[in-house]
Structure 1
Amino acid sequence: MKNRPAYAIDSVDHALVLAQMLRHEGQLRVSEAAERLGVSPSTAHRLLAMLVYRDFAERSDDRRYFPGRMLRPAPVTEAPLAVLRRVAGPHLRALTDRVGETSNLVVVVGTETRFVMTTECTRPLRVGDRMGQTLPAHLTAGGQALLAAVPPAELASLYETSADVDLRRLRRELALVRKRGFAINDQRTETGVTAVSLPIPNAAARPEAAITLAMPTARFNRTQLPDWITHLASTATQIKADLTT
């Protein structure tokens, strides 16, 4: 697990978190930045001003902040992700509170899983914030939950020339995900971390996002798996309902 550095510099961390928000959500106001970081509006304003100075942000006439030229090259679908994050946020927080483990909202871009939101639990030993990180989709729980709905021809086009992926094995793993209705990542991407994931259903046959519960492997107990799946499924259904209203 990735732990917070012992001598972390909060101002640097806050500035980087703001840059991640801008990159993935497209715009911010000072009041929103302050609330999300848990700092005063004046502190949030100074942090955003420094991002503007270094070209990581731009400020509009109506005092909104947008990604600057240092962030724009990244491929981001801004508006849909912003809506998804806003709608899913309260449900992820409720899920984490109920289960007592860290939850994530993820999407797949190409062959990568992108973490677009994390709600950390408060337990001393926990999986930390993954927002903004990317991992190989074929290895992550959220990635497999979404790849399981990808048509066979498209899956082949993504992986048939990859030297790092055994396509036949991946197909077998995804068939199991489809049969069970959920995916598990047992330390494939990080030693000591296990995750369980379900896709968020939508009107189309192919979901666009998934939610995960991530926990220290020492706390992963298969006898609790049915309860975790029930909580994940309920949360995914609630997010779907709010997205369609």
Structure 2
Amino acid sequence: MKNKPHYAVESVDHALRLATLLQQEGPLGVSEAAEHLRVSRSTAHRLLAMLVYRDFAEQDADRRYRAGPVLSPADATTAPVSALRRAALPHMRALVADLQETANLVILAGNHARFVVTVECDQVLRVGDRSGRTLPAHLASGGKTLLAALPRDQLAEHLPPDDMARLRRELSLVRKRGFAINDQLTETGLTAVGVAIPWPAATPTAALSIAMPSVRFSRDLLPTWVSALSETAAAIAADLL
């Protein structure tokens, strides 16, 4: 028998109950969520917004909320996440100190790019922590570099069928250049540049990216960013040996 802990945090309890409702009972509106939890509509809305931010929920076109990717069975990944995190963090911190933009470590999990760890920069206007979130791999900069590194006969398993030809051409260009750009494809006002981390004796399953407000993105600075990313990715790979 489980007893409610004496130190229970009510807002956490509400969020967990709400996530369970979405997973087990299907889509909910704000009023329905408020009724289930016996809280105000404004509180329910804030809870749902946080669940959406962390990918526990998604909002449909009709403004109802449903279970998000985190509440679905996890896609398999071959990346040793804890070893990657340990190897990458010191190098990511140095990269952020140098470039003054937020850095992300990303792995390929099925058709998604999963953010393993974020190191935020100190600028007032900056991209925040994306740890734990997932994005379609063919849209995220790091995801694109990992898809481009896959054997061509495996790509069809990871790309949406309705845009296959265009995406194959784009990934071919990413393969030649060695980097990828996400220019506001996943979030308005956000631009990211990514490179694959050279995987020891195997196809890369992790990537490194920097993300910035689009107003700071400059094609003139792209060579500098790609060079710094590539050097950092190589240093991470060396520490994984």
Amino acid at match of 1:132: G
Instruction: State the identity %.
Output: 58
Which residue number corresponds to residue 166 of structure 1? 163
Q: 1:218 to 1:72 in 2, by over 3 A?
A: closer
1:71-90 maps to which residues of 2 (within 5 A)?
A: 74=74, 80-90=80-90
Q: Is the 8 A contact 2:75 2:110 kept in 1?
A: no
Q: Is the 8 A contact 1:102 1:214 kept in 2?
A: yes
User: In the superposition, relative to structure 1, how do residues 136 and 122 fare at CA in structure 2: closer, same or farther (>3 Å)?
Assistant: same
Distance (Å, rounded) in 1 between the aligned partners of 2:114 and 2:150: 17
Q: Does 1:238 align with 2:235?
A: yes
Aligned to 1:91: 91
Work out the CA distance in 2 between the residues paired with 1:77 and 1:71: 17
The CA deviation string for residues 76-102 of structure 1, in whole angstroms up to 9 with x for no partner, is 769810010011011101100000000
Give the TM-score normalised by structure 2. Answer: 0.68
Q: Which of 187, 190, 199 pairs up with 1:190?
A: 187
- The alpha-carbon distance between structure 1 residues 184 and 227, as it changes in their structure 2 partners (threshold 3 A), is same
TM-score, normalised to structure 1, is 0.67
- Report the counterpart of residue 211 of structure 1 in structure 2: 208
- Equivalence map 1:21-100=2 (5 Å): 74=74, 80-100=80-100
- Please list the CA deviations of residues 143-201 of structure 1 after superposition, one character each: whole Å capped at 9, or x if unmatched: 00100011122111333xx45x5000100100110111100000010110000001000
1:123 to 2:120 alignment: no
Looking at structure 1, the residues matched to 150 and 201 of structure 2 have their Cα atoms a distance apart, in angstroms, of: 12
Give CA deviations for 1:209-237 in whole Å, capped at 9, x if unaligned. Answer: 00001000000011011110111011011
Secondary structure of the corresponding residue to residue 194 of structure 2: strand
Give the 3 Å change call, closer, same or farther, for CA 176–157 of structure 1 in structure 2.
same
Greater Cα radius of gyration, structure 1 or 2:
2
Structure 2 CA distance for aligned equivalents of residues 73 and 178 of structure 1:
30
| Alignment check: 8 A CA contact 1:149 1:205 kept | no
Secondary structure of the 2:158 match is helix
> Displacement, 1:114?
0.1
- The answer for the alignment partner of 1:178 in structure 2 is 175
2:227 aligns to what SS in structure 1? helix
Aligned residue for 2:80, secondary structure, equals helix
* 1:105 equivalent in alignment to 2:102: no
Instruction: Specify the alignment match of 1:224 in structure 2.
Output: 221
Structure 2 alignment gaps of length 5 or more: 1-8, 17-69
C-alpha contact (below 8 Å) 2:146/2:206 kept by paired residues: yes
SS at structure 2 position matched to 1:166: helix
The match for 1:22 is none
The aligned amino acid for 1:158 is: H
The 1:120–1:81 alpha-carbon spacing in structure 2 relative to 1, beyond 3 Å, is same
